[in-house]
Amino acid sequence: MIKRVVFNQKGGVGKSSIAVNLAAISATRGQRTLVIDLDPQCNSSHYLLGEDYLDVKPDIKGFFEQALTFQMKPNGPDYYVHATPYENLSLIPANPDLGDLQSKLESKHKIYKLRDAIDKLADDYDAVYIDTPPAFNFFTLSALVASERCLIPFDCDEFARQALYSLLANVHETREDHNEALSVEGIVVNQYQPRASLPQRIVDELLDDDLPVLNAKISSSVKMKESHDETCPLVHMAPKHKLTQQFVELFEELSH
């Protein structure tokens, strides 16, 4: 099983778009794929389930609530998994009130619960994609502990470049303290404008620092907003579009 977390402490960098579109491509390749949405904004859940996503229960909040209570016969992790409209693609949806549990989960040291749940699903799925909140908190740390590969979306902005080093330090510390199998799989340059000088300069600076910038880059395109609006991943909505092909190239680069 491939266990991949999509993580950046900065909001608006495309975590949900990248997680969902890579997962959708994975599913079209015949891989049994699971998306776990840990972000209270619920963007991945909305993207895959449409307008009624909040009505889909049980969700990830229920999973963590169970971790806080003793039960003689607790529900297995498959209890929280739901089918999506797309073959081979399943989801554990998020909940807007997930953050209400954070302090209780931290105080009871439940940081390994997500990892243990994913391990129990190993026979059922070939790939897991975890979407994280835009913060380094309990839920993000749980995702990093549960994963083997960390994918970092990056928009070509100077402030984002400065924050990237703090993010990489957090990943390194998590690997040292909790999960020696964790590695940074790559930095995904998102909202890329190849004809603009600033994005290219920032990418060159990352490469000069020997950071693992992936070759495949995701362009800025209104097609992404249309995909969100239609709550349909690009590989299903517009399989021949340039943006879709960029995601396919990214998926194939990560698969090699």
For residues 57 and 52, give the distance between their C-alpha atoms in angstroms, rounded to a whole number. 11
Reported as a single tens digit per residue, the pLDDT across 31-53 is 999 999 999 999 999 999 999 99
Class of domain 2-255 as given by CATH: alpha beta
Q: Rounded to a whole number, what is the distance in angstroms from the first to the last CA of the chain?
A: 15
Best CA proximity match to 132, nearest among 108, 98, 159: 98
Q: How confident is the model at residue 116 (pLDDT cuts 50, 70, 90)?
A: very high
Q: How far apart are CA 110 and CA 115, in angstroms?
A: 10
Q: Is the pTM of this model over 0.95?
A: yes
DSSP state of 135: S
Q: Are 2 and 149 in contact (CB under 8 A)?
A: yes
Strands (E) in 31-101, as ranges, are: 33-37, 82-83, 89-92
Please check the confidence at residue 252 and state whether its pLDDT lies above 90. Answer: yes
DSSP codes of every residue in 140-175: HHHHHHH-SEEEEEEES-HHHHHHHHHHHHHHHHHH
For the stretch 160-174, pLDDT in tens is 888 899 999 999 999
Q: What local confidence, expressed as pLDDT, does residue 12 receive?
A: 83
* pLDDT band with cut points at 50, 70 and 90 for residue 78: very high
pLDDT at 99: 95
